[in-house]
Structure 1
Amino acid sequence: MTLEVDFHTGVADKLGYTCRLLRKAWRSGKQVVVTGPPAALNRLDQLLWTFEPGEFIPHARLRAGQAIEPRLARTPIWLAESPADAGPRDVLVNLGPQALATAATGSASCPRVIEIVADEPDEAEAGRERWRQYKAAGLNPRNHSQRPAPAA
């Protein structure tokens, strides 16, 4: 199985963008795991409850090493410090600055990886480094720039 890697770059509001991306994935029936720094996952957890009035995106927070409770096993979106803890998923979304070792080498548990890169110099540089790591692993990532087109 070939791993698909998509970079969404130049994102002005990283967590707001991620909320919209997760809503779209959930509506299309995808199982998703989101990984990143614990503080970002905690904030995303809060935003998924409040970013759209009257709308709920089913998700659960999973801390490193925590087992999934059987009653939550069918939850479509997991916010996980360690993506492997969430089990097989359709999509892995990375909010963190480091490349995911299992993703760079390919993983049957998540056939698609989405890298979210904010429009900030440090984030852009970390994103370029992850891009190089995917290329070095023989993958062909695609870029989806979120920067507005220059005025003509």
Structure 2
Amino acid sequence: MTQVFFYHNASDRIAAAVALIGKAFAQRKAMLVYAPAAEVAAALDRQLWMHPPAGFVPHVDINSPLAGETPVLIASTLESAPQDERLLNLSRDVPPGFSRFASLIEVVSQGDEERADGRKRARFYKDRGYDIRYLDCSGNA
């Protein structure tokens, strides 16, 4: 069953996601990022170019010819996902087909609307029997 992790209280959702992606990359773990909103995907792409300040996290769009050899993929759909290990959700909704992934990572900021969306997703997972681990990132990004 998919492990679900909720990182909540992020002061900046994209910065928190970038920090989590950076940690996964440092541990040589592939990450698929579901970002169906073009502005969210673009913001993530920009921040991944700058984080860490003295390094680089290789990432491309899932449709790139380099997708097969790049550890971090940004996807607007999950239909042709090349891996099913880690999914980071930057959508406001439950990602379609999330249950095929070994782990699902949700990042929720401190904004009222985003917290409400996060609660809906958490309720959805809980109602279906998924165990959720909550991690407070208010001391971080």
Does TM, normalized by the shorter one, top 0.5?
A: yes
Q: What is the CA deviation profile of residues 65-101 of structure 1, one whole-angstrom value per residue up to 9, with x for unaligned ones? A: x4x52x4411100011113333214210001110123
Report the Cα offset of residue 13 of structure 1.
Answer: 1.2
* Aligned counterpart, 2:49: 49
Give the match's secondary structure for 2:93. coil
Query: Which entry has the higher C-alpha Rg, 1 or 2?
Result: 1
Q: What is the CA deviation profile of residues 109-133 of structure 1, one whole-angstrom value per residue up to 9, with x for unaligned ones? A: x210000101100000000000011
Q: Which moved more, 1:79-88 or 1:136-145?
A: 79-88
Does 1:92 pair with 2:92? Answer: no
Alignment of 1:5-24 (within 5 A): 5-24=4-23
For structure 1, the residue ranges without an aligned partner over 5 or more in a row are none
The amino acid that maps onto 2:131 is: N
* Aligned counterpart, 2:110: 119
Identity among equivalent positions (%) equals 25
Which of 118, 121, 145 is the equivalent residue of 2:136?
A: 145
Report the Cα offset of residue 54 of structure 1.
Answer: 2.7
Give the match's secondary structure for 2:118. helix
What's the TM-score, normalizing by structure 1?
0.84
What's the TM-score, normalizing by structure 2?
0.90
Query: Which whole-Å CA distance do the structure 2 matches of 1:80 and 1:91 have between them?
Result: 13
Would you say how many aligned residue pairs link Structure 1 and Structure 2? 138
RMSD: 1.5
Change (3 A) 1:38 1:11: same
